[in-house]
Structure 1
């Protein structure tokens, strides 16, 4: 008897679930544009760019020491590769000569925040102030004001992206992480990068990572042999609005997604 009572109680819930599912399906079929618009409201930074040519960018985040900065400049110069360095304002304060050396060598010096704060925990006003503080420091050393920002820790949300774009700047992520910050061996870094690169990729390295200078020549030589060319990120990205139809997200979906 108890089993029958439970069965009778479940029936209305089952019917209600079926009705809701049918209503949802009707809405999706009859109002696809509304569903599509809702799905693409989230703002995302640029992870990579759709490119038919075998063109990629390599980037470095500089927030720690500068002991290998000149070595990286020399290696990149040996292969005539121009890269993008995202530097923290505090790093500019501490190593202005390294910032100038990067710019003098033809590399892009872009913004990695002023204090390496968690931007998602800041208000939009605080984000703008932080980015402008770093921009001012970079411009004072290089004479060029940054146009790209890489939020610290790779963290962002809609309000972070909106605040950055309100400054006519573009937030930049990456689709290939060398994981050099984990102190992987040079061989592991090389294998990881060359196996994941695709046309339009943005590769993440770190200034002052233990084995990056050792791995970098092999990575560049291998990719050059595969027909890749290297350009700074500002030359890789295309003008226009970037959205979920045009970039890759952190899950590793192919561009365009």
Structure 2
């Protein structure tokens, strides 16, 4: 499903009388002006579940570069990555310095890793990240022979180097459309940085995307050839959320969201500060630490929910629907 379809904020130009004055809702739609690749290396780990929770709460789909022996030893965590809508890549069997290996050793290492990941998740990797970013022409050729494109990174979050949350967020703030950032599974500081990273991306109309196996660049989630799981994951499927703004007043507006494809769902919506949601209906809402990302869950009141947002000085922005997850 295209994220451009998920983020369909089709604003209905509806005139609302305010003291006898007709005010028309803006006809522009909020869309992603570009995509970035959020990547997490070295999983799956004992902290993968916590990472996936943060990612899903913030409407993030990311690429997980898994170590083969970790995928073999943590099969349920690897399965959970795909069930949460993440893409999985090959990060070698044991994170060795692969440029010191012979071609045959490289072939064995990467093949064994892809097989372990496919066995655990049902998905065979089409992306490869060399450990430490160390590569050469032989390693790239081996990866290509196994159907994988090598992906390094444009921005290093430095989370592996003891960077603080604020430093990780600042580093991620350098991301531009099409670029890829290096982060890691298993680090609390990285998990704590994700809401702020997403708030910054949203403010710049950038959205998390997949990494194209053709170009190695971040593209819309349907823009590459990463295959889906061979069997549907239990729960955590997809749905579509379509939002309209049928009522606009001088200081606030209403948003109505209709969900299709699921009877129970969680929809992640980003609000542009300083706008503030003051009323919700037909759903149960939770918020991230920034107060700008709302996850609305079904509460038995049907498949349409809504909320009222105060402009607070920003009358042009409209909410962005980041994701819709079934179950």
Say yes or no: TM over 0.5: yes
SS in 1 for 2:104: helix
1:224-239 residue pairs with structure 2 within 5 A? 224-234=202-212, 236=218
Deviation at 1:93, TM superposition (A): 2.2
Residue aligning to 1:155:
134
Distance in 2 (CA, whole Å) between partners of 1:114 and 1:99 is 14
C-alpha contact 2:155 2:180 (8 A) present in aligned 1: yes
Deviation at 1:202, TM superposition (A): 0.3
Distance in 1 (CA, whole Å) between partners of 2:74 and 2:95 is 16
The answer to whether the aligner puts 1:116 opposite 2:95 as a matched pair is yes
TM-score for both structures, normalised by structure 2: 0.54
Which one of the candidate residues 125, 141, 149 is aligned to 1:146?
Answer: 125
Higher mean C-alpha deviation, range 228-237 or range 153-162 = 228-237
Residue aligning to 2:184:
206
Deviation at 1:67, TM superposition (A): 3.5
Which one of the candidate residues 179, 185, 191 is aligned to 2:164?
Answer: 185
Higher strand share: 2
Distance in 1 (CA, whole Å) between partners of 2:147 and 2:76 is 28
Which one of the candidate residues 42, 50, 69 is aligned to 1:62?
Answer: 42
SS in 1 for 2:198: helix
Structure 2 unaligned blocks of 5 or more: 1-31, 225-327
Residue aligning to 2:152:
173
Change (3 A) 1:72 1:121: same
Runs of 4+ in 1 over 6 A off after TM superposition: none
Distance in 1 (CA, whole Å) between partners of 2:139 and 2:58 is 36
Distance in 2 (CA, whole Å) between partners of 1:210 and 1:121 is 32
C-alpha contact 2:48 2:77 (8 A) present in aligned 1: yes
Greater Rg by CA: 1
Structure 1 unaligned blocks of 5 or more: 1-51, 240-257
Larger relative contact order (Cα-Cα within 8 Å, sequence gap ≥ 6): 1
Deviation at 1:165, TM superposition (A): 1.4
Residue aligning to 2:86:
107
Distance in 2 (CA, whole Å) between partners of 1:138 and 1:164 is 15
TM-score for both structures, normalised by structure 1: 0.68
Deviation at 1:62, TM superposition (A): 1.7
Deviation at 1:91, TM superposition (A): 0.8
Question: Deviation per CA, 1:211-238, whole angstroms, max 9, x where unpaired?
Answer: 1011111001111121001112137368
Deviation at 1:162, TM superposition (A): 1.6
Which one of the candidate residues 143, 154, 175 is aligned to 1:164?
Answer: 143
Which one of the candidate residues 218, 228, 250 is aligned to 2:196?
Answer: 218
The answer to whether the aligner puts 1:135 opposite 2:114 as a matched pair is yes
Question: Deviation per CA, 1:112-157, whole angstroms, max 9, x where unpaired?
Answer: 0112121111122211111110111111111111111101111001
Which one of the candidate residues 58, 63, 68 is aligned to 1:79?
Answer: 58
Higher helix share: 1
C-alpha contact 2:72 2:117 (8 A) present in aligned 1: no
